[in-house]
């Protein structure tokens, strides 16, 4: 008994909250977070490109304006114009499949364009190999603040910059003309700038992942709450209740109500364990739920071993009586099949009535969608005064079904609280109308 309860509890947890408990290792979560981070990276790369274009124009203009030599002005223009073209090309890549799929390549390209390409071009044009630490630090800080994701590519961009510079030193056999203290000071600034940038990106990304996890948990919880609410209430009523949390009541002038009772279930409960009894009832009612879904019928509730459903609300349909009749016939067949599969001898007694009802949600706790009115009472009496393995309908339902279904007049029946009523037994669909 304890094991069964534990299994049921585990199943309920999986149904209600299937992805929340282990999002860090969930493959779907990892893919979703990776996609979210990739989109974020593309958006921020476009922002960085715009900033770099503006910065490039201002710096190039400065060198052209303040350089006295024409040749140096030309070199500055060539260098600035070439860098701007490369930046524009990176902007173009952001809109291509390659760039969207591999935004990290654009990230590294922008960083090394400012740090390495300018360093190389300056060495080629002027033979100047001194480290441009101001530009490097500016690029590292810019990308850490604008694009604070994937700390590994930040670290790779910094290492690549240093390797490029050391390579130039070897190629040009650069001699360090300034004091050793100057290079140590610049190196320390560069080192700690890089460390702080990488560490801040790591912390930001960790926080962003936690935020994404919490957001995903909230979305899943909301989806499951919505799903549970729709299992309790019709979708139209659920939406109305969320926007208007007051008493909901509507009059429907033409619907068909069904009551079904499992005959013999009460006797079975006297010599069957409670878990087995509930399991059997659940299997039968699950079959009925599937039929309600199939025929577009609204299940209202279960009362012990009785099942209540209605057609024609909350959304009106002209064929409400036909839908209920078809479901009632299918319910008989499903019970026969259930008895065959499990070696049981249940029978079902069904009552149907057509007419106006009041439907709504009342109460503050454990609220449910319910029906009231004489039509509901009549349907209940049709069932309770019916015959096992038969479907009893009132005269109003008979008038709607008589041309398309096989019905047998049962005659005047004394109905509790109603007096004598003419009722009919529904046997099936007329042959020519069977699908």
Model confidence pLDDT, tens digit, residues 333-369: 999 998 888 888 888 999 999 999 988 877 666 677 7
Half-sphere exposure (Cβ direction) of 6: Cα atoms closer than 13 Å:
3
Report residue 36 as tokens.
């979210």
- Across all residues in the chain, what is the average pLDDT? 83
Instruction: State the CATH number of the domain containing residue 255.
Output: 3.30.70.1230
> Which of 194, 224, 254 lies at the terminal end of a domain, its last residue?
224
Q: Determine, yes or no, domain membership for 301.
A: yes
Using N-to-C axis directions, what is the helix angle for 151-172 and 118-126, rounded to 10°? 10
Mean pLDDT of all residues in 127-139 = 88
> Which of 224, 245, 261 lies at the terminal end of a domain, its last residue?
224
Q: What are phi and psi of 272, to 5 degrees?
A: -130, 140
Structural domain of 426: 235-433
Contacts of 381 by beta carbon, 8 Å cutoff, 6+ apart: 351, 415, 416, 417, 418
pLDDT of residue 4: 42
255 near 379, Cβ under 8 Å? no
Predicted TM-score of the model (pTM): 0.56
Q: Determine, yes or no, domain membership for 5.
A: no
The 10s digit of each residue's pLDDT in 339-349 is 888 888 888 99
First to last CA, the chain: 46
Contacts of 76 by beta carbon, 8 Å cutoff, 6+ apart: 60, 63, 64, 67
**Claim to verify: residue 23 and residue 151 sit in the same structural domain:** yes
- Whole-angstrom distance, CA of residue 251 vs CA of residue 359: 6
The 10s digit of each residue's pLDDT in 288-328 is 999 998 999 988 888 888 999 999 888 888 999 999 999 99
Does 314 sit behind a cis peptide bond, omega within 30 degrees of 0 on the bond before it?
yes
The 10s digit of each residue's pLDDT in 181-239 is 888 888 899 999 999 999 999 999 999 888 888 888 888 887 777 777 666 666 666 66
285 near 279, Cβ under 8 Å? no
DSSP 342-376: HT---EEEEEEEEEEEEEEE--SSS--EEEESHHH
Q: Determine, yes or no, domain membership for 30.
A: yes
Percent of the chain with pLDDT over 90: 34
């Amino acid at each position: 008994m304890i094991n069964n309860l534990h299994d049921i509890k585990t199943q309920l947890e999986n149904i209600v909250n299937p992805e929340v408990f282990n999002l860090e290792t969930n493959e779907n979560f990892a893919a979703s977070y990776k996609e979210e981070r990739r989109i974020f990276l593309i958006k921020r790369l476009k922002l960085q490109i715009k900033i770099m274009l503006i910065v490039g124009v201002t710096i190039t203009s400065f060198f052209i304006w303040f350089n006295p030599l024409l040749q140096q002005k030309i070199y500055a223009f060539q260098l600035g114009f070439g860098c701007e073209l490369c930046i524009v090309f990176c902007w173009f890549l952001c809109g291509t499949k390659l760039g969207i799929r591999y935004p990290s390549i654009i990230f590294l390209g922008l960083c090394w364009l400012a740090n390495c390409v300018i360093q190389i071009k300056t060495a080629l044009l002027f033979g100047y190999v001194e480290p441009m630490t101001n530009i490097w630090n500016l690029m590292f800080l810019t990308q850490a603040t604008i694009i604070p994701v994937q700390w590994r590519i930040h670290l790779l961009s910094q290492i690549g910059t240093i390797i490029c510079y050391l390579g130039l030193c070897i190629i040009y056999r650069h001699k360090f003309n300034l004091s050793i203290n100057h290079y140590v000071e610049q190196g320390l600034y560069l080192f700690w700038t890089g460390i702080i940038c990488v560490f801040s990106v790591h912390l930001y990304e960790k926080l962003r992942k936690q935020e994404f996890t919490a957001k995903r948990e909230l979305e899943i919880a909301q989806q499951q709450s919505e799903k549970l609410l729709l299992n309790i209430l019709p979708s139209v009523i659920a939406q109305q209740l969320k926007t208007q949390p007051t008493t909901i009541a509507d009059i429907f002038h033409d619907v068909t109500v069904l009551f079904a009772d499992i005959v013999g279930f009460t006797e079975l409960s006297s010599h069957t364990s409670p878990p087995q009894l509930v399991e059997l009832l659940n299997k039968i009612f699950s079959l009925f739920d599937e039929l309600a879904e199939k025929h577009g019928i609204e299940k209202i509730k279960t009362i012990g071993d009785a099942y209540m459903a209605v057609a024609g609300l909350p959304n009106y349909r002209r064929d409400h009586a036909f839908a209920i009749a078809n479901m009632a016939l299918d319910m008989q067949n499903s019970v026969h099949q259930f008895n065959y599969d499990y070696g049981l001898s249940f029978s079902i007694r069904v009552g149907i009535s057509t007419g106006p009802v009041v439907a709504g949600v009342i109460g503050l706790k454990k609220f449910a969608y319910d029906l009231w009115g004489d039509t509901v009472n009549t349907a209940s009496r049709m069932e309770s005064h019916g015959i096992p393995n038969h479907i009893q309908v009132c005269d109003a339902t008979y008038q709607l079904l008589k041309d398309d279904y096989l019905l047998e007049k049962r005659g005047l029946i004394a109905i509790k609280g109603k007096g004598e009523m003419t009722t009919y037994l529904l046997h099936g669909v007329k042959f020519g109308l069977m699908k």
